[in-house]
Structure 1
Amino acid sequence: MSKLGNLGARLHRGEISYDFVGKRKIWYGISILITITAIVGLAVRGLNMGIEFQGGAVLTTPAHISASVAQVEEYAKEASGHDAVVQKLGNGAMRVQIASIDTDQANKVSAKLAQDLNIPEKDVTGESVGPSWGEQIATKSWQGLAIFMVLVAIYLAIAFEWRMAVAALVALIHDITITTGIYALVGFEVTPGTVIGLLTILGYSLYDTVVVFDSLKEQTKDVTKQTRFTYSDIANQSINGTLVRSINTTVVALLPVAGLLFIGGGFLGAGTLNDISLSLFVGLAAGAYSSIFIATPLVADLKEREPAMKALRKRVMAKRAQAAAGEDALTVRTGEGDEPEEAAAVVGPRNQPAARNRGRGRPSGKRR
């Protein structure tokens, strides 16, 4: 831990750094590849929308029944004529979701399912969700996401500048696309809990991005009045200065989410936890990545297109070239790897000291 703290302090002081902005084309390429994979997953497999969005029936069996998940899926499919999604809950009960059936069909399926499982019909509880209600939830979810994006863009444009707002929106869209693409590839069900998880991870991603942007804004107040660093150099310093902080906050947030996803959803069979835990886990990781590798390098790209920043880059490059030429000239005069000789430091004629004791010992008196 002490080594990590020392590393963070050295990064913050600029003693060591990694060139994130200089290698931005690599990060852009990786992000484009991941995004294309996510989009292909969405196009080919699509999202497994929950009952809340499609409408249908949700049936719950009593705890600790003898049938397996595969058997219950087969019973529900035979009884309804539709594919069923079955989740095993933490107490051993089964949650059966069947889309696109009405209340009368749900009652018939409940009775048939109870018969196949050899349990009383009253022990199988159920509820129906109308398609209009599911459509209303989907519409409200998209509206909430759109409003969130607009408010974020307005806030960042006012607090920082429009280029940072654009970069933050690109990073947020990047995070949403990757998260939904993984949902499509894995096949997890999309529920209102998933939407809550998406909105939550957008807040985490925005937090990391704003931390870097705030540092960048502070360090670039009078950037054009100096000739040591370009805008990209200072952007890279801002990333390195806040890198350990971003990693720490992300790891601390991921640990409990990983507990929900792998322990709660995997070992304990709490399937309902998967709805929100997967979106949180993937989104937090993608948000930390986009804040470091996408948002700030993109801001640097946009800023470097400004005439003032182009002129600053020319001055900085010219000064660095002049300094390099001076070092090369000094190396040629003194010899590479040798120290300058002491005599070489003396320029111009050397003044000899006056003879202070001239005439000492000569007899005194008048000269004859």
Structure 2
Amino acid sequence: MSSKNQSNHSNWNFNFVKKSKFFYMFSLIVTLAGIISLSVFGLNYGVDFRSGSNVDIAVSKVVSQAEVEKVVSDAKLDAEATITAGSDRVNIRFPEVLTDDQVKSLQSTFNSQIDPKASYEINTVDTEMAKELERNALLAIAVASIGIMIYVTIRFEWRFALSAIVALLHDAFLVISVFSILRLEVNLTFIVAILTIIGFSINDTIVIFDRIRENLRFAKKQTRGDLEELVNRSISQTMIRSLGTVFTVFIAAFALLVMGSESIRMFSLAMVIGLLFGTYSSIFIASPLWLALRSKKKPSAAAPSKATN
């Protein structure tokens, strides 16, 4: 082992593998809560994944939610519409597809009562389209996971690949669980966020796995204790790089969450949550899982000793 590696390891004297059991426990609790929530309540799908109409209105003045509710009532539209009023935009979501007459009634009522300069963007999703979008979203996540597993298997070995996929599915499912438990809206931008989280998570995991593979060439690996020390050292050597990358993206995602528009709010929130889960999964889920799989590997036959002269 080089002196450089020893120096890096001495800066982080922490047993990541030993502490991983607490993160396993936390992930298990959130996963079970998510399974229960998904079984009982499901996901709170937005108009992208269910039939209905989404009316996005650009206004020239501040509009209150009470004013919009009155417009919806006076236009004789569905009273169960979900209304989000902001300083320059108003969003109204209807669980049913609006007819042309209903759209005209809404526009004329809004123009006469609130803002004659308002401009409208109306998106409608029928039942079949909503089902197709849901299937395509699940397919995109499945294809991404399979592609990553094939890549990691070719570049490393199947134990690395299996550990990486478990960590990716862990990150994705925990974000989905949080959205289900808190009844947050799931739309197409949420799916984009999940795929983005998977990309960042595998990046951190690959960096750690690459260092583990490099250290395996020089370190002893006959016992579990040797492997555990090797994993701890590999994580320590990549810690600053991993945290620096995640922190940079986290700041950008948090800024979008606080100051971004309503249309990307769920994307930003999913990114913030997913980055937090992804940060610890690469360290405390993927690497210890690889260690557990590698520890079960049967030791190879000892090399024959060289004949003495």
The structure 1 residue matched to 2:139, chosen from 137, 143, 154, is 143
- Offset of 1:192 from its aligned partner? 1.4
Q: Which moved more, 1:91-100 or 1:172-181?
A: 91-100
TM-score by length of 2: 0.84
After superposition, the C-alpha distances for 1:149-199 in whole angstroms (9 at most, x for unaligned) are 101111111111111111111111111111112222333322211111110
Given that 2:171 and 2:277 are in contact with CA atoms closer than 8 Å, whether structure 1 keeps it comes out as: yes
Distance 1:93 1:117, change over 3 A: farther
> Could you tell me which residue of structure 2 aligns to residue 205 of structure 1?
201
> Could you tell me which residue of structure 2 aligns to residue 86 of structure 1?
83
- Offset of 1:81 from its aligned partner? 2.9
| Root-mean-square deviation over aligned CA pairs | 3.0
> Could you tell me which residue of structure 2 aligns to residue 332 of structure 1?
none
Given that 1:55 and 1:128 are in contact with CA atoms closer than 8 Å, whether structure 2 keeps it comes out as: yes
TM-score by length of 1: 0.71
Is the partner of 1:23 in helix, strand or coil? Answer: helix
**1:183 to 2:179 alignment:** yes
> Could you tell me which residue of structure 2 aligns to residue 281 of structure 1?
272
Work out the CA distance in 2 between the residues paired with 1:87 and 1:305: 55
- Offset of 1:205 from its aligned partner? 0.4
- Offset of 1:45 from its aligned partner? 4.1
Counterpart code for 1:209: T
> Could you tell me which residue of structure 1 aligns to residue 54 of structure 2?
58
Q: Please, which runs of 5 or more residues in structure 2 have no aligned partner?
A: 303-309
Once the two structures are superposed, the pairs formed by residues 348-359 of structure 1 within 5 Å of their partners are none
Counterpart code for 1:211: V
> Could you tell me which residue of structure 1 aligns to residue 289 of structure 2?
298
Once the two structures are superposed, the pairs formed by residues 246-257 of structure 1 within 5 Å of their partners are 246-257=242-253
* Relative contact order higher in (CA < 8 Å, ≥ 6 apart): 2
Q: Which moved more, 1:36-45 or 1:130-139?
A: 36-45
Larger Rg over CA atoms:
1
Work out the CA distance in 2 between the residues paired with 1:239 and 1:28: 17
Distance 1:167 1:101, change over 3 A: same
Runs (4 or more) in structure 1 with deviation over 6 Å come to 8-11, 225-228
- Offset of 1:274 from its aligned partner? 0.4
Is the partner of 2:59 in helix, strand or coil? Answer: coil
Distance 1:225 1:242, change over 3 A: closer
Distance 1:192 1:308, change over 3 A: same
Work out the CA distance in 2 between the residues paired with 1:24 and 1:118: 56
Distance 1:122 1:15, change over 3 A: closer
**1:245 to 2:245 alignment:** no
Work out the CA distance in 1 between the residues paired with 2:198 and 2:147: 12
Work out the CA distance in 2 between the residues paired with 1:151 and 1:25: 29
Counterpart code for 1:54: R
Is the partner of 1:242 in helix, strand or coil? Answer: helix
Work out the CA distance in 2 between the residues paired with 1:273 and 1:159: 36
Once the two structures are superposed, the pairs formed by residues 1-368 of structure 1 within 5 Å of their partners are 12-14=8-10, 16-64=12-60, 67-73=63-69, 75-76=71-72, 79-81=76-78, 83-89=80-86, 92-104=88-100, 106-107=102-103, 110-111=106-107, 113-114=109-110, 117-119=113-115, 124-221=120-217, 223=219, 230-264=226-260, 270-308=261-299
Distance 1:238 1:108, change over 3 A: same
Work out the CA distance in 2 between the residues paired with 1:296 and 1:122: 54
Work out the CA distance in 1 between the residues paired with 2:11 and 2:107: 72
Work out the CA distance in 2 between the residues paired with 1:285 and 1:73: 37
Work out the CA distance in 2 between the residues paired with 1:34 and 1:11: 37
Given that 1:11 and 1:17 are in contact with CA atoms closer than 8 Å, whether structure 2 keeps it comes out as: no
Distance 1:135 1:224, change over 3 A: same
Percent identity over the alignment? 28
Work out the CA distance in 1 between the residues paired with 2:298 and 2:228: 14
